[in-house]
């Protein structure tokens, strides 16, 4: 029954947040125990996958019974590093940047927007929520006071790489890129991407090739 601890497969990591969300819902409904089958249903995945994924955490279920919702919640949270708070900076406050800055559910668990940056003088000084937009040149100064863990890039593609470089220079180790551009970062930095037009093009493919297949995937791209 001892779960193997170590080297959690990438595909598993990508699913843990999904499990976590369903577990929160179960907990909110005062459900205390859940089977792999039930959890799998809620997450739209296969039950064997759930069990194998959870076994990587060394998580204890109870044979013949299932998993304790509270225990799983805290184990997955810990594994994902959601106990600590992660400081986020958003660079680029166009439409998307604004939407991201206003996104509730950041704060939800463990994420806190501590910096908003733009290069356009007309946007500097604007308050978005409780945070004032500063010039991207101030990034190092802000990061010196409040170390930034995660940088979100929401600028036009042509300047995305230089923004990434600045974030890295400011000590950021995780980047989420919304710009439609391929970025390169040093190996110690994790990078994931969200690209709307790529998503649409993939959908276009499967629309055209009616009867398209399609298991499931998770967004982004990472390096570390």
Partner DNA sequence: GCATGTGAATAGATTCACAGCG
Partner DNA sequence: CGCTGTGAATCTATTCACATGC
Residue closer to a second copy, measured from CB, 60 or 103: 103
The least distance separating DNA from the CB of residue 145, rounded to whole angstroms, comes to 37
Partner from a second copy, DNA, none binding residue 182, C-beta < 5-8 Å depending on class: a second copy
| Closest residue by Cα to residue 197 from 166, 139, 157 | 157
The least distance separating DNA from the CB of residue 151, rounded to whole angstroms, comes to 25
Report how many residues bind a second copy under the rule CB under 8 A: 79
In whole angstroms, give the CA distance from residue 62 to residue 83.
25
In whole angstroms, give the CA distance from residue 174 to residue 160.
15
Burial class (CB in 10 A: 0-12, 13-18, 19+), 117: buried
Within 67-96, which residues bind DNA (CB under 7 A)?
67
Instruction: Please identify, among the stretches 31-39, 119-127, 131-139, 198-206, the one whose residues bind a second copy according to the rule CB under 8 A.
Output: 198-206
In whole angstroms, give the CA distance from residue 189 to residue 202.
27
Partner from a second copy, DNA, none binding residue 17, C-beta < 5-8 Å depending on class: a second copy
Residues 6+ apart with CB under 8 A from 17: 80
Displacement of CA 119 from its chain's centroid (Å): 25
- 55 binds DNA, rule: CB under 7 A: yes
The least distance separating a second copy from the CB of residue 218, rounded to whole angstroms, comes to 6
CA distances from 57 to 4, 13, 25, 72, 180 (A): 7, 10, 21, 10, 34
Phi-psi region of 21 (alpha: psi -120 to 50; beta: other; left: phi over 0): alpha
- 5 binds DNA, rule: CB under 7 A: no
- 23 binds a second copy, rule: CB under 8 A: no
Partner from DNA, a second copy, none binding residue 61, C-beta < 5-8 Å depending on class: DNA
Provide the binding-site residues for DNA, judged by CB under 7 A: 1-4, 9-12, 34-37, 45-49, 51-52, 54-55, 59-67, 215
């Amino acid at each position: 029954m001892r779960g193997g601890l170590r080297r959690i497969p990438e595909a598993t990591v990508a699913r843990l947040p999904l499990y976590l969300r369903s577990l929160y819902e179960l907990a909110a409904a005062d459900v205390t125990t859940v089977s792999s089958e039930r959890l799998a249903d809620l997450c739209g995945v296969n039950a064997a996958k759930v069990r194998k994924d959870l076994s990587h955490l060394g998580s204890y279920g109870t044979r013949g019974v299932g998993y304790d919702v509270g225990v799983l919640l805290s184990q997955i949270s810990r594994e994902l590093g959601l106990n600590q708070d992660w400081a986020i900076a958003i660079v680029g406050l166009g439409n998307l940047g604004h939407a991201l800055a206003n996104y509730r559910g950041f704060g939800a668990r463990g994420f806190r927007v501590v910096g908003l940056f733009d290069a356009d003088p007309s946007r500097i000084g604007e308050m978005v929520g409780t945070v004032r937009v500063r010039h991207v040149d101030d990034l190092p100064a802000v990061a010196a006071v409040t170390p930034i863990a995660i940088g979100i890039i929401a600028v036009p593609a042509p300047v995305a790489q230089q923004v990434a470089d600045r974030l890295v220079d400011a000590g950021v180790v995780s980047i989420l890129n919304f710009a439609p551009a391929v970025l390169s970062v040093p190996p110690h930095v994790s990078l994931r991407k969200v690209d709307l037009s790529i998503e649409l093009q993939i959908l276009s493919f499967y629309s055209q090739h009616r009867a398209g297949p399609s298991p499931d995937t998770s967004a982004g791209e990472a390096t570390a």
